[in-house]
């Protein structure tokens, strides 16, 4: 018989998997990691909601202050979101300036309270870059995750609600129909 130590290879595989599921800028789950987390976590024992947030007028931040400042704003959102949501909730960066929050075992009213707390916290937060202060707001859309439902459909529903919040004037939340 032959015995081989594959612990080094297994450790490397774990690192590569983590890197494939993590956004390098914010340290949050990326879209792939978020989808995998939702799938792995199953239906849970209670209601789950998905909130999608978009930084309002983010292009203006990049155009006015530069991309390094934009990156710092993204990191600020990630830091504040992780601090504001509950321990069993998950925050992810879906891409660009779009983020998602999985709210586990949450009623619609609880989801609105948590998301409104996040929206207000971001509104109050100031990002400092090279002695300059940058304030942002976010818009958000909230959808229910249907048991055994397609996560892409849920993200699409939350996105539609997000764009309704933007059309209504930004810096607010909307619910998916």
Three-state secondary-structure class, residue 131: coil
Q: How many residues does the chain have?
A: 177
Q: 């989808």: which residue's tokens?
A: 35
Three-state secondary-structure class, residue 45: coil
Selected catalytic residue, list 40, 87, 97, 153: 97
Q: Which long-range contacts (CB under 8 A, 24 or more apart) does 120-125 make?
A: 121/80, 121/83, 121/84, 122/77, 122/80, 122/81, 123/171, 125/76, 125/80
Instruction: Using only the alpha carbons of the chain, give its radius of gyration.
Output: 18
Judge whether 13 counts as a catalytic residue: no
CA angle 101, 103, 108 (to 5 degrees): 115
CA 152, 158, 160, 166 torsion-angle sign = negative
CA 103, 107, 113, 115 torsion-angle sign = positive
108 and 43 Cβ atoms separated by less than 8 Å = no
Query: Which residues are marked as active site?
Result: 97
């Amino acid at each position: 018989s032959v015995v081989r130590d594959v612990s080094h290879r297994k450790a490397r595989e774990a690192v590569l998997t983590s890197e494939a599921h993590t956004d390098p800028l914010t340290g949050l789950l990326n879209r792939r990691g978020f989808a995998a987390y939702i799938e792995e976590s199953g239906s849970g024992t209670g209601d789950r909601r998905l909130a999608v947030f978009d930084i309002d007028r983010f292009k203006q931040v990049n155009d006015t202050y530069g991309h390094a400042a934009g990156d710092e704003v993204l990191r600020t959102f990630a830091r504040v979101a992780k601090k504001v949501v509950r321990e069993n909730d998950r925050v992810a960066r879906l891409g660009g300036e779009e983020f998602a929050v999985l709210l586990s075992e949450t009623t619609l009213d609880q989801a609105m309270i948590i998301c409104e707390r996040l929206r207000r916290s971001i509104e109050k937060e100031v990002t400092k870059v090279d002695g300059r202060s940058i304030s942002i707001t976010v818009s958000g859309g909230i959808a229910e995750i249907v048991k055994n439902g397609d996560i892409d459909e849920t993200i699409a529903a939350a996105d539609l609600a997000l764009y309704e919040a933007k059309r209504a004037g930004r810096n607010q939340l909307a619910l998916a129909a």
